[in-house]
A and B are shown apart, each in its own frame.
Chain A
Amino acid sequence: MIAATGRFTIALVREWGTFALFILRSLWSLLKLRAFFRRVSRAIYEMGVRCAPIIVTVGCFTGLVLGLQGYFTLSKIGSEFILGSTVALALIRELGPVLSALMIVGQAGSAMAAEIGIQRNSEQIDALETIGVNPLGFLVGPRLVAALVVFPLHTAIFDLIGIVGGYVSGVMIMSMDGGVYWQNVYDGVQRVDVFNGFQKSLAFGFIVTAICAFEGFNTHRKSSQPGARGVSQSTTRAVVFSSIAVLAVDFVITSLLG
């Protein structure tokens, strides 16, 4: 039992060390990356455009449900006039960054892990090395930078759409006063709330992208089976670990920032 625990701990520490080195090397390789802006813009486009529809959809429904539930709960204690700030703060501080991160994980993160995994399996990554192109700089570095742009951007879109969703359910469905809703949003949301929300989304973006890329890049090393099943395993691991990481990091950041 003790030996097994020891082995598990050593393996865990080794894996984290490998992951940390993977991130450092990817960032370092950015210094030598050619056509930096072109590659980053392409990654932003791929990650951003691919996820935009789902962010808008989920943001809209989240806001609608939040508005309805908030209205029902607050009306019981006669405080429905604070619905605007309730919806906005819930979205900006928590739900926006977390849900948009989870959506991007499901959409772009899984695709990234699968794509890099297939490139690993079909020796395209080895080909890059023999050609003299650093695969980390070519495949991972630009995506890490792109995530720092895409995640806050999508979080902002999610927040805005969600607040509008709250307006639709609170004002248009439940007949609350629109002016009260918007005034309450304006009064309730502080700059620090928005700042904290974006901090979270930046952290989520970086960690999620690193995990998905790491899992894809190490498909050959970490999967118990080769080929398509190996890619499937690494994609599943990427989504599961990223989702857990989002929630864990959310807890840590929330406890630190308050």
Chain B
Amino acid sequence: MGTPFLEIKGVKKAFNGRVVLDGIDLTVDRGSITTIMGKSGIGKSVLLKCIAGLVDYDAGEILLDGQSCIGANCGKDSPRLSYLFQQNALFDSMTAAENVAFPLVETTRMRRREIRRKVKELFEQLDLGDVANKYPAEMSGGMQKRVALGRALITQPQLILFDEPTTGLDPQRKNSVFTMVADYRKRFDFTAVMVSHDIPEALFVSDRVAWVDKGVVRFVGSPTDLELTRDPELVEFVHHRNGLLSDLAGQQGRSALFSDWPELRKKFDEFIVATCATERRRPGSDLGLKRFVSYREAVSSVKDLAREGSSIYFLDERHFGFAVKSKPDQPPLAQVLRSLKELNDAQPLTVMTSYQWSARSYRLAALPSPSALWTLEDLPSADVVSANALSA
């Protein structure tokens, strides 16, 4: 990482006088996953197609590994690029195996036997063994997505462009796709640029996030930077989804925390933030939905702790917070962690086992505003205890 692999400089594109991209500037580091976000219809996919050479841009420059010619027709020395289309774009008259083999059959002089071997190998890696002879119409959406990814990976590309890879998938499969992207990025060592609306799922696998609005990149940074941003439009864009999740979980969300804050400081001594997915890159089967369910179960479990007048807030999909009163004989932090750990052990089959539970306790008096909770890492007084350490 660190070396700019893809450089987009002042790219402009208009369709029939309607400006879609109005000077996009973005760099993507080698080996990273960069997610481009933004409202529908603001030109994210157009930008991806400009990168792939499928759409000619009106002005600006796109350099891939320092070369301006991007695409499959730029010679053998040009960086290899693959594109995972929103609707997979599998060739419907070919079987899954033929689809995956297609780029090798058409663009290399490789022997048939060698191609078959490579396809078989990739099918095993992608866990696609039983669909090799099926046509796209006979496969589920998730399977099609994996076959499309297989077709994108077979040429060992240096850059893969993902155009809304989770469109039309259920939450469980959505998270499987994100997990797959993160996992295969490690295994196959490619750089990824992804367009996605899925917050926060996409953020878990991203190194960098770019927010495109009104034809320009309004924000670029890490997912943590995104959470800390104070741009009101971006905050609304990012957090309305979390708000929905908190509603679904039946818990109070961030906005409630903001409004309750003055009261909390009066009534309680401590605010405990529990983190339940400290390793963002750690893949797990059927990641998201089970995690979400487990999270809710975790909250419910902790809710039962005997603490009079305690209050629980749903901060985002990974964090929840408890405002509690300190008692010398019953340290609340230890209680919370023990409870989470017990739940963890009680349900070893859930994805929760993949995560290290941790929590930080803050003196409410020391926190001037709830936004300080957004900068957890910066608080030197934080008392960090891991659940596993506690158990040991």
- Give residues in A with beta carbon < 8 Å to B: 34, 122-124, 126-127, 129-133, 138
Q: Nearest CB to that of A123 among chain B residues?
A: B89
17 residue pairs from A and B, CB less than 8 Å apart: A122-B87, A122-B89, A123-B87, A123-B89, A124-B92, A126-B89, A127-B83, A129-B71, A130-B72, A131-B72, A131-B151, A131-B155, A132-B71, A132-B73, A132-B106, A133-B106, A133-B107
- Give bound CA distance, A131 to B72, whole Å: 6
- Give bound CA distance, A132 to B70, whole Å: 11
**When A and B form their complex, which 7 residue pairs have the shortest distance between CB atoms, in order from nearest?**
A132-B72, A123-B89, A127-B89, A130-B83, A123-B85, A131-B103, A132-B107
- Give bound CA distance, A195 to B164, whole Å: 56
Counting chain B CB atoms within 10 Å of each CB, the highest count among A126, A129, A131 belongs to A131
Chain B 53-94 per-residue mask, 1 if CB under 8 angstroms from chain A, else 0: 110000000000000000111000000011101110111100
Q: Nearest CB to that of B73 among chain A residues?
A: A132
B85 to chain A: which residues have CB within 8 Å? 123, 126-127
A222 to chain B, nearest CB (A): 14
Q: Tell me whether A130 and B82 are in contact (CB under 8 A).
A: yes
Q: Does B52 contact A (CB under 8 A)?
A: yes
Q: Tell me whether A130 and B52 are in contact (CB under 8 A).
A: yes
- Give residues in B with beta carbon < 8 Å to A: 49, 52-54, 71-73, 81-83, 85-87, 89-92, 102-103, 106-107, 151, 155
A34 to chain B: which residues have CB within 8 Å? 106
Q: Tell me whether B106 and A131 are in contact (CB under 8 A).
A: yes
Q: Nearest CB to that of B161 among chain A residues?
A: A130
A126 to chain B, nearest CB (A): 5
- Give bound CA distance, A127 to B151, whole Å: 10
Q: Nearest CB to that of A115 among chain B residues?
A: B93
A62 to chain B, nearest CB (A): 34
B73 to chain A: which residues have CB within 8 Å? 132
Instruction: Pick from B54, B107, B155: contact of A126, CB below 8 A.
Output: B54
B89 to chain A: which residues have CB within 8 Å? 122-124, 126-127
- Give bound CA distance, A133 to B99, whole Å: 13
